[in-house]
Amino acid sequence: MNNVFVYLEIEDGTVAEVSLELLTKGRTLASQLGCRLEAIAAGDKLDTIEKQVFPYGADVLHIFKDKRLSPYTTLPHTSILVNLFKKEKPQICLMGATIIGRDLGPRVSSALGSGLTADCTSLEIGDHEEKKVGKVYENLLYQIRPAFGGNIVAWIINPDHRPQMATVREGVMKKEIADPNYKGTVVEHDVKDYVSPDDFVVSIIDRHVEKSKVNIKNSPIIISGGYGVGSKENFQLLYDLANVLGAEVGASRAAVDAGYAEHERQIGQTGVTVRPKLYIACGISGQIQHIAGMQESSLIISINNDPSAPINAIADYVITGDIEKVIPKLIKYYKKNSK
Amino acid sequence: MAFNIIVLAKQVPDTRNVGKDAMKADGTVNRGALPAIFNPEDLNALEQALGIKDQYPGTKITVLTMGPARAAEILREGLFRGADDGVLLTDRAFAGADTLATSYALSMAVKQMGNFDMIISGRQAIDGDTAQVGPQVAEKLGIPQITYAEAIESIDKKKIRVKRRLENGVEVVEAPLPLLVTVNGSARICRPRNAKFLQKYKHAKTVTERQTENIDYIDLYNARPYLNLTEWSVADVNADPVQCGLSGSPTKVKKIENVVFQAKESKRLTDDDTELEDLIKELIANHTIG
Ligand SMILES: Cc1cc2nc3c(=O)[nH]c(=O)nc-3n(C[C@H](O)[C@H](O)[C@H](O)COP(=O)(O)OP(=O)(O)OC[C@H]3O[C@@H](n4cnc5c(N)ncnc54)[C@H](O)[C@@H]3O)c2cc1C
Ligand SMILES: Cc1cc2nc3c(=O)[nH]c(=O)nc-3n(C[C@H](O)[C@H](O)[C@H](O)COP(=O)(O)OP(=O)(O)OC[C@H]3O[C@@H](n4cnc5c(N)ncnc54)[C@H](O)[C@@H]3O)c2cc1C
């Protein structure tokens, strides 16, 4: 009772990165609160899920196995969570701020009448005093999220309703194995007790999912291009530099919108969050929504022909110049000196 | 064949131009300080409804919005683009709502509107940015939902087929009516205002607008009932005031911080060959690259 729950997103028997990141965060929260961490897996191929999640410190894994639960559709997964939560009364429930999490989370929160905070960038435990009524709430979940296009950060709490629900984007929390030998308990539920046949009214006619070829999130070096790169052809310069350095290419939203780069390369508030060893920002002005996704990079180099571009304020090295000139020189001197 | 479609549309502050004075001390938004616009993805939603109406001309589209008196602008904007009717849900008791209280209020208004085949909303509003209201309205009404829709591929009285966007792909789903669809920004953009409708609905007003603006062409509003925009309060939709606004909101804003980034001491270089070669050597030496 009153534990921390994480809803696992599963594609083809594999737990999504974002869910593992949330288990890592959930482990910390549960230890701080002195309660257990529980995970929910609903789908078809679930045999290896326990091996995947126990190392992250899950104490209990709830299994709901049924062919009809995969691929995900809204209503049956909602029924599972709603009915499970009515029994288990979690204090916290975390989900990915993904297409699935943002489809499921609000539906579950509405059915339970509990609050849901979207796209949190930080989750902390803390107290809250309601001065008007002189009441102190202990160990609430502070759900910290940017809003208003990234211009403000709001601390949201949910004093009176449970579970306290929050969604978090992929890449925001860090994934970390707690103990490779950690052993939890598996609880298999009978899906019939949770889901009614009426829940299967929406059917999937066709589905194309491609494994993402781009892996910017885990790349130690990122060469990122903005609108200032000027064209799709010029973006090739970034790929050339990335090739010699063994890096991935990222992009600002303006570059993605202009068609210079694919959407999955977008970094920032509405893209992925990255924290590489080296981030080279090429022709990126550094608007708040972009910085939100890369400010934790260990070393930042900005290449920009405007010496007062906002990104320069957070860069360790500022190269003032045109990318057309600077990047070929970086490639040349890297080749010359790396041997 | 004709359909009864409700489009949910929100008036939002243009968050692409937020100044420092946009937030009040109590953490609520000072909407007055920002230009108010039709939430961009709600325009994509309206276009999906208009597309169905093109195909089935008897279709009726009603725009529903909850907000302060001036949110009536959203209803007129909808009419100018081809909607048939608009309802403004406005009451002090709705103020300070989180997504749950918002969806409760909207669902009560929908119930008041009677039979419908479909509700279409935007995926997400650009101020709150939660994408929660659509699914929560669907849940409150006990109907299925299809989120992240990119195109309505076909519709008949029994079912609808929708293409939706996934992170790394697309999905085509089929569902029975009535249901709620949330529309993604990658869907078709909305057609512009239509000059004919602009003429027709220029003077469409809510009762409050007519009172505050001292407009009193009683005859005009009697002769052309479509110029009277419906305005509903908490009582008009039989809503429980406790479940509305701040009191109906489980989430509370504890505090708001403005975002400021810590400036770093940065080294300045030019595109000079020696400077760039030295930088590369330094990065190789400290194992950042290579
Ligand atoms: C709700 C919301 C969410 C958003 N989410 C994101 C997000 O996730 N990620 C994101 O990136 N943006 C996001 N944005 C958009 C963001 O506000 C900016 O519009 C965007 O980041 C700007 O991209 P940019 O820096 O590439 O382009 P610009 O601002 O146009 O900057 C181009 C830069 O290139 C420089 N330049 C021009 N030519 C050259 C040259 N030849 N050589 C070198 N430098 C040159 C210019 O000096 C300038 O600094 C979001 C906006 C909103 C409202
Ligand atoms: C800084 C800040 C942070 C917030 N964080 C949260 C939070 O994490 N959780 C939470 O529950 N609330 C939160 N809120 C409150 C939330 O913004 C409001 O409840 C808002 O009225 C609805 O949410 P949204 O703007 O996110 O809309 P979304 O859920 O993003 O809107 C989706 C769609 O629903 C429809 N819709 C939404 N509102 C209306 C309306 N008034 N009239 C007609 N149609 C509408 C539109 O079609 C819209 O495209 C926050 C508010 C602020 C100021």
Mutation target among A75, A131, A145, A202 for the B interface, most CBs of B within 10 A: A202
Q: Tell me, what DSSP letter sits at residue B181? A: E
Report strand pairing: B11-13 vs B4-8. Answer: unpaired
pLDDT given at position B234: 98
User: In chain A, where are the structural domains located?
Assistant: 4-200, 216-337
Rounded distance, CA A190 to CA B236, Å? Answer: 44
Residue-wise DSSP of A10-73: EETTEE-HHHHHHHHHHHHHHHHHT--EEEEEEES--TTHHHHHGGGT-SEEEEEE-GGGSS--
**Greatest alpha-carbon span in chain A:** 70
Minimum-distance ligand 1 atom for the alpha carbon of A227 = 26
Confidence of residue A286 (pLDDT cuts 50, 70, 90): very high
Query: A326 in helix, strand or coil?
Result: helix
Token duo for residue A232:
């799709």
Contact indicator for A165, A117 with CB cutoff of 8 Å: yes
- Compute φ and ψ for A307, nearest 5 degrees: -65, -20
In the Cβ-directed half-sphere of A215, how many Cα atoms lie within 13 Å?
A: 8
**Domains A4-200 and A216-337 agree in fold:** yes
Contact indicator for B39, B11 with CB cutoff of 8 Å: yes
Tell me, what CATH number does B65's domain have?
3.40.50.620
Q: Name residues contacting ligand 1 (CB within 6 A).
A: A 149, 226-228, 230, 252-255, 266-271, 283-285, 287, 289-290, 293, 303-306, 309, 322-323; B 15-16, 126
Q: Is 90 exceeded by the pLDDT of residue A270?
A: no
For the segment B63-68, the average pLDDT, to the nearest whole number, is 97
Residues spanned by the domain of B65:
4-248
Phi-psi region of A114 (alpha: psi -120 to 50; beta: other; left: phi over 0): beta
Interchain pair A154, B255: CB under 8 A? yes
| Residue B277 belongs to some domain of the structure | no
Distance from CA of A145 to the nearest CA of B (A): 10
Distance from CA of A66 to the nearest CA of B (A): 19
Contact indicator for A209, B168 with CB cutoff of 8 Å: yes
Long-range CB contact pairs, B199-204, < 8 A, 24+: B200/B79, B200/B226, B201/B76, B201/B79, B201/B80, B201/B226, B201/B227, B203/B227, B204/B75, B204/B76, B204/B79, B204/B86, B204/B228, B204/B229
User: What homologous superfamily is domain A216-337 in, according to CATH?
Assistant: TPP-binding domain (3.40.50.1220)
Each residue's pLDDT tens digit, B130-174: 999 999 999 999 999 999 999 999 999 999 999 999 888 899 999
Rounded distance, CA B68 to CA A64, Å? Answer: 45
| Residue B261 belongs to some domain of the structure | no
Q: How many CB pairs under 8 A join A and B?
A: 241
pLDDT given at position B9: 98
Q: Which strands make up the sheet holding B228-232, listed edge to edge?
A: A203-209, B169-176, B159-166, B145-155, B179-183, B118-122, B4-8, B60-66, B85-89, B228-232, B205-206
Q: Tell me, what DSSP letter sits at residue A170? A: T
Interface confidence, given as ipTM, is 0.87
Amino acid identity, residue B260?
V
Q: Is 80 exceeded by the pLDDT of residue A82?
A: yes
CA separation (Å) from A229 to A78, A258, A312, B126? 45, 11, 16, 27
Each residue's pLDDT tens digit, B185-197: 989 999 999 999 9
pLDDT given at position A224: 98
Q: Find the A73 Cα to ligand 1 centroid distance in Å.
A: 36
Each residue's pLDDT tens digit, B230-288: 999 999 999 999 999 999 999 999 998 876 666 778 999 999 999 999 999 999 998 89
For the segment A171-191, the average pLDDT, to the nearest whole number, is 94
For the segment A157-165, the average pLDDT, to the nearest whole number, is 96
| Residue B20 belongs to some domain of the structure | yes
As beta bridge partners, residue B145 has B180
Q: Name residues contacting ligand 2 (CB within 6 A).
A: A 115-118, 145, 147-148, 154, 156; B 8-10, 29, 39, 41-42, 45, 64-67, 97-100, 102, 106, 121-122, 124-125, 127-134, 251
Distance from CA of B102 to the nearest CA of A (A): 11
Q: Into how many domains does chain B fold?
A: 1
CA angle A236, A242, A246 (to 5 degrees): 150
CA angle A151, B36, A287 (to 5 degrees): 25
Rounded distance, CA A13 to CA A280, Å? Answer: 36
Contact indicator for B85, B61 with CB cutoff of 8 Å: yes
Query: A195 in helix, strand or coil?
Result: coil
Protein residue whose Cα sits closest to atom 43 of ligand 2: B65
Q: Is 60 exceeded by the pLDDT of residue A96?
A: yes
Interchain contact B136–A (C-beta under 8 A): yes
CATH number of A4-200: 3.40.50.620
Q: Which residues of B touch A201 (CB under 8 A)?
A: 144, 175-176
